[in-house]
Chain A
């Protein structure tokens, strides 16, 4: 039974957390509200609470968005990024999943050492190896190509580790039953292992999407042509243009931010489940 004191404490905790969450939400609310305003209104409202209130719905309500979408290539950049994310999700799940499966279930020499190396690679920041990636991609003549962008992004030690941690707890007898049902190793991976590990597949997919969507450094090095730019690079190109107003800048930032929020709110449960399940059993 919840006592009176516990009830009071719950209320206090809820209020404190609400205030804390508002504190984190203020910049987002401000961005969203002002993305619908002309620059004059943004400046006028800056010192009042109206800065967090969107303007009244009228004919110019969506003007910033319409201007950005019609006068720039922003839709193309968004579509580019969605395409890169989709390709990298599929390839990432297959490649990292197969690597994780091998580390979890297939016996081969120095397996544990390989795992150790992969775990060590997790602590190496992307920035330290990006020059090497760049040089390799340049030598291969793949600069400013989709392949040049995608190739170094496929293998991800963290994702391999996540997959390995989940696969290690899959029962071996299911594989044995599948063998008797004439299911080969690759078919087993795609028709049994991945469906049995939906939460980690969802986690890796979401992480990959967020990684691609938010990535700035690597695409800024690889892409030089406007046609292939990703959303973040496009955002930079648009906002650094002198003709872009503050309202338009905020509209672009809102459009870049919203998919991340949507994806995270839809898949937060799976992400938590996936990450938790990776620590459930050590092989």
Chain B
């Protein structure tokens, strides 16, 4: 049996015409790390807050450990939570922040001391133990918030964009620490983020949301390789997938700027019955090297680079093609300058096709 179950969960705020969350269904296994991801206002934090008990559930059932929790007080749901703005108690020291919940739970003082020592040690907070939050950096504050969550031995961790206030470097190291912590504690974690990189790198499964509706649930690579619709395809991956409005003809596809591309029969077969589709291709599936150029000679195209992004380990090349600004992600050894004319191919078996009206993937298995 799943540890957390969300059954047809809906949330509608008073005075709003539309639901903020609509028909949310999800089963989360014990010890699983689930990430809710989506753009601002998609309902991910609202869903998390409903699980925590800070928002009423308009309809549907929330089960934690097999028990219905809709009307249960937050403190009785067996959860710990890490907040976006840390939510530390500003007048208490690090040690008191961490031990406060345990004291209220009437845990014996020796046990409290042992747990605080353990948390302070694994989070590297020894030297800050007697400092107040205002004297800590963002990363240290976030560690205190984590410490406060882990000492209570709850089975379910909720994290609401815990790294969004940190700088990029710190975010990467904290990402790593949270993942390690999750593995060592063996807890179930629900992690809300708008950063798809965080979701991809940390989660066992990702829930992608848009306008309060779950778009797709799956393992990170499932979502990356087999997005169920254009939104998911565009949301996951950086740089974003290139989308082209194309017409389907007998030999392949015709781009909006009139350029044609022949497609292998296996790919063409997927487009039978369609006149007009959206074709998506990721930057790394646009190839400039000679070996791919030979293999996919039929798909060969030309363009002039109008911008480059040197990332160090790889380069992003921007060029006008098919009526949009396209981006190709190439290795750092494939150096091109602005103004260079390049030959490239789209790897046909890596193309994603979406219905132009519904935006649903025509096939997830091209």
* Distance A62 CA – B261 CA, assembled complex (angstroms): 108
13 residue pairs of the A-B complex, CB under 8 angstroms, read A171-B85, A174-B89, A176-B54, A179-B73, A180-B52, A180-B80, A180-B101, A181-B75, A182-B104, A183-B100, A192-B91, A196-B89, A198-B91
A196 contacts which chain B residues (CB < 8 A)? 89-91
B221 an interface residue at 8 Å Cβ cutoff? no
Inter-subunit contact A177/B90 (CB<8 Å): no
A195 an interface residue at 8 Å Cβ cutoff? yes
B327 contacts which chain A residues (CB < 8 A)? none
B83 contacts which chain A residues (CB < 8 A)? 173, 176-177
Inter-subunit contact A176/B81 (CB<8 Å): yes
Smallest distance from the beta carbon of A111 to chain B beta carbons, Å? 14
Residue among A180, A183, A192 making CB contact with B81, cutoff 8 Å: A180
Q: Which of A143-190 contact B (CB under 8 A)?
A: 171, 173-174, 176-183
Given contacts A173-B83, A173-B85, A196-B90, 9 further A-B contacts (CB under 8 A): A173-B84, A174-B87, A177-B148, A179-B74, A180-B74, A181-B100, A181-B101, A195-B91, A196-B91
Name the CB-closest residue of B to A177.
B87
Smallest distance from the beta carbon of B46 to chain A beta carbons, Å? 14
* Distance A174 CA – B105 CA, assembled complex (angstroms): 18
A182 contacts which chain B residues (CB < 8 A)? 75, 101, 104-105
B51 an interface residue at 8 Å Cβ cutoff? no
Smallest distance from the beta carbon of B318 to chain A beta carbons, Å? 40
Q: Which of B239-256 contact A (CB under 8 A)?
A: none
Tally of A-B residue pairs with Cβ under 8 A?
Answer: 52
- Binary A-proximity of B56-86 (CB < 8 A = 1, otherwise 0): 0000000000000000011100011101110
B84 contacts which chain A residues (CB < 8 A)? 173
- Total number of A residues with any Cβ neighbor in B under 8 Å: 15
* Distance A178 CA – B92 CA, assembled complex (angstroms): 13
* Distance A179 CA – B104 CA, assembled complex (angstroms): 10
* Distance A252 CA – B192 CA, assembled complex (angstroms): 67
Q: Which of B28-54 contact A (CB under 8 A)?
A: 52, 54
* Distance A196 CA – B89 CA, assembled complex (angstroms): 8
Name the CB-closest residue of B to A192.
B89
* Distance A198 CA – B54 CA, assembled complex (angstroms): 27
Smallest distance from the beta carbon of A171 to chain B beta carbons, Å? 6
Q: Which of B117-139 contact A (CB under 8 A)?
A: none
A181 contacts which chain B residues (CB < 8 A)? 75, 100-101, 104, 148
Inter-subunit contact A171/B87 (CB<8 Å): yes
B100 contacts which chain A residues (CB < 8 A)? 181, 183
Interface residue ranges, B against A (CB under 8 Å): 52, 54, 73-75, 79-81, 83-85, 87-91, 100-101, 104-105, 148
The 8 closest A-B pairs by CB, nearest first: A181-B101, A173-B87, A182-B104, A177-B87, A195-B91, A173-B83, A182-B75, A179-B74
Interface residue ranges, A against B (CB under 8 Å): 171, 173-174, 176-183, 192, 195-196, 198
Smallest distance from the beta carbon of B25 to chain A beta carbons, Å? 25
Smallest distance from the beta carbon of B104 to chain A beta carbons, Å? 4
* Distance A196 CA – B133 CA, assembled complex (angstroms): 12
Name the CB-closest residue of A to B91.
A195
B75 contacts which chain A residues (CB < 8 A)? 179-182
Name the CB-closest residue of A to B106.
A182
* Distance A198 CA – B90 CA, assembled complex (angstroms): 12
Smallest distance from the beta carbon of B190 to chain A beta carbons, Å? 14
B148 contacts which chain A residues (CB < 8 A)? 177, 181
Smallest distance from the beta carbon of A104 to chain B beta carbons, Å? 17
B54 contacts which chain A residues (CB < 8 A)? 176, 179
Smallest distance from the beta carbon of B80 to chain A beta carbons, Å? 7
* Distance A101 CA – B89 CA, assembled complex (angstroms): 17
Inter-subunit contact A183/B104 (CB<8 Å): yes
B73 contacts which chain A residues (CB < 8 A)? 179
* Distance A178 CA – B105 CA, assembled complex (angstroms): 12
B101 contacts which chain A residues (CB < 8 A)? 180-182
Inter-subunit contact A177/B104 (CB<8 Å): no
* Distance A179 CA – B55 CA, assembled complex (angstroms): 13
* Distance A180 CA – B100 CA, assembled complex (angstroms): 10
B87 contacts which chain A residues (CB < 8 A)? 171, 173-174, 176-177
B104 contacts which chain A residues (CB < 8 A)? 181-183
Inter-subunit contact A176/B74 (CB<8 Å): yes
